[in-house]
């Protein structure tokens, strides 16, 4: 079984605000760490100082700012009593409900996955994001995206060029003209050990999933922007949203949200029956694409650190990547949160100032992404792995065959543009979208797709003919 084929444990709707399996701290601490996947052959090592001397970095400095930022899609992961991974498009973040009185909370207590997307859909963690984007714009988007990544992978690369020594691994794969950056933990179900604090319990107490998205576990957002002469689509989690905007709200363009067409297309594509049942993805429609101006990021800290650390400053690089414009910082005094210590900040000006002050680092960051894009484009298989294990050095390695694929065959074919829309109107209104767009349980189950071909040797060149 490939690395990405390792299924995480079943989720329960009783798991709480983030769809987590509850337990006590000793249970979480007792989990045996997973050994890291083996490394592929070393191709090249990139030194941070080489980026400083790189001509590309100097030529990219003027364009190493984010422009034309807009939210293009979103989805929720739904907690399910069965093993089928389920998303709702476009979903909706949980609603902020400011506490009317001081809150005395229990410390976070449970199992928290490092990568929520991989834990829920280990075979293709980026695929739900791709499907959400295709549901919004399934014609032009694939040709317009140079890089598709998550806040974690871009944040890791940014920390590397800024001289931080936090280790990481990630997979890189080119599909059509888009280079995907995918997190790689030791296991898709790897947990964060020894979790302390009140971030999750505070979020559970001060946000709520509204009726149309009840049973959600997490909300994911896709933001598109230009940076360093490239077009990015970045996935990041939204911790919640405000009912009324806390700042001037720009008009949000309408989205062409036709999940019906997307489902019809995916269902009519024949794909290999060799894929395991765990690859099934159930898609529901519901919720609202909330304007980015209403979305917030949330952190909790001890009151003892209030005057000792610049908590907002520590978060600005991450907020720069994710483009989330609001930041809630809540301080607690011995487990008690009072309203006077809960602040909501419009961070747009702070993020802009941070960008202005870090132009050289951002130019190196742009140069690094360009170099990786060029290297993966030169590979016959269109794949690489990036490993940062030593301060100041990023190893570029061969991606081993057991690392899997970023996309399933059907979704890859759609992204590559070899499949047209295939929607058959059979006149059955029962499963069609009603006035509220409720399509019910729509399953992309590759194993149960129509039989008739073996696609394991097929590629985009043959259009996944099933006869290779």
Q: Are strands 178-183 and 147-150 parallel, antiparallel or unpaired?
A: parallel
pLDDT score recorded for residue 265: 52
pLDDT at 355: 98
User: How far from 62 is each of 48, 186, 359, 368, 418, CA to CA, in Å?
Assistant: 20, 38, 8, 16, 37
What is the pTM (predicted TM-score) of this model? 0.80
Residue 93's alpha-carbon distances to 76, 125, 254, 395, in angstroms, are 8, 20, 18, 37
DSSP string, 189-214: T-B-SS--SSHHHHHHHHEE--GGGT
Q: Enumerate the β-bridge partners of residue 148.
A: 180, 233
| C-alpha of 79 from chain center | 17
CA 207 to chain centre: 21
For residues 374 and 369, give the distance between their C-alpha atoms in angstroms, rounded to a whole number. 9
Structure confidence at residue 113 (pLDDT): 82
Axis crossing angle, helix 348-357 with helix 359-377, rounded to the nearest 10: 80
Per DSSP (E only), the strands in 303-462 are 326-333, 336-346, 383-390, 393-397, 442-444
DSSP secondary structure letter of residue 3: G
User: Please, what are the averages of pLDDT over each run of 10 residues along the chain (468 residues)?
Assistant: 42 35 40 84 95 80 95 95 89 95 85 85 94 83 93 97 94 97 86 78 94 96 98 98 66 41 49 38 95 97 92 97 98 93 97 97 97 97 97 96 94 77 34 32 37 39 40
Domain boundaries, the chain: 3-448
């Amino acid at each position: 079984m490939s690395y990405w084929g390792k299924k995480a444990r079943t989720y329960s709707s009783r798991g709480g605000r983030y769809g987590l399996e509850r337990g006590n701290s000793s249970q979480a601490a007792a989990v045996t760490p997973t050994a890291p996947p083996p490394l592929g052959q070393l191709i090249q090592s990139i030194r941070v100082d080489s980026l400083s001397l790189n001509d590309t970095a100097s030529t990219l400095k003027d364009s190493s700012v984010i422009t034309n930022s807009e939210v293009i899609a979103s989805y929720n992961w739904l907690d399910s009593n069965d093993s089928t991974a389920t998303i709702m498009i476009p979903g909706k973040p949980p609603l902020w409900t400011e506490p009317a009185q001081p809150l005395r909370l229990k410390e976070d207590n449970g199992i928290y996955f490092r990568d929520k997307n991989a834990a829920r859909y280990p075979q293709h963690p980026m695929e739900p994001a791709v499907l959400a984007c295709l549901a919004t714009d399934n014609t032009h988007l694939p040709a317009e995206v140079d890089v598709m990544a998550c806040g974690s992978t871009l944040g890791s690369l940014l920390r590397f060029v800024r001289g931080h020594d936090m280790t990481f691994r990630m997979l890189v794969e080119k599909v059509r003209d888009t280079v995907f950056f995918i997190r790689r933990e030791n296991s898709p179900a790897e947990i964060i050990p020894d979790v302390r604090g009140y971030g999750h319990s505070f979020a559970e107490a001060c946000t709520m999933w509204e009726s149309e998205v009840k049973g959600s576990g997490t909300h994911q957002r896709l933001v598109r922007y230009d940076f360093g002469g490239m077009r990015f689509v970045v996935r990041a989690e939204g911790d919640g949203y405000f009912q009324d905007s806390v700042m001037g709200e720009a008009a949000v363009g309408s989205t062409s949200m036709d999940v019906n067409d997307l489902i019809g297309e995916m269902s009519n594509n024949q794909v290999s029956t060799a894929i395991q049942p765990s690859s099934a993805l159930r898609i529901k429609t519901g919720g609202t694409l909330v304007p980015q101006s209403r979305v917030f990021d949330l952190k909790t800290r001890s009151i003892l650190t209030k005057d000792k650390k610049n908590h907002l400053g520590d978060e600005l690089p991450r907020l720069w990547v994710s483009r989330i414009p609001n930041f809630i910082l809540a301080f607690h005094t011995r487990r008690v949160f009072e309203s006077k210590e809960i602040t909501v900040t419009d961070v747009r000006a702070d993020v802009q100032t941070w960008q202005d002050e870090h132009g050289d680092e951002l130019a190196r960051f742009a140069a690094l992404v360009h170099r990786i894009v060029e290297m993966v484009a030169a590979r016959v298989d269109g794949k690489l792995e990036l490993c940062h294990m030593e301060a100041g050095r990023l190893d570029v390695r061969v991606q081993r065959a057991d690392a899997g694929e970023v996309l399933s065959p059907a979704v890859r074919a759609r992204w590559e543009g070899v499949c047209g829309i295939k929607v058959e109107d059979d006149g059955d209104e029962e499963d069609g979208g009603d006035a509220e767009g409720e399509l019910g349980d729509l399953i992309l189950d590759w194993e149960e797709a129509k039989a008739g071909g073996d696609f394991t040797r097929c590629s985009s060149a043959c259009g996944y003919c099933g006869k290779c």
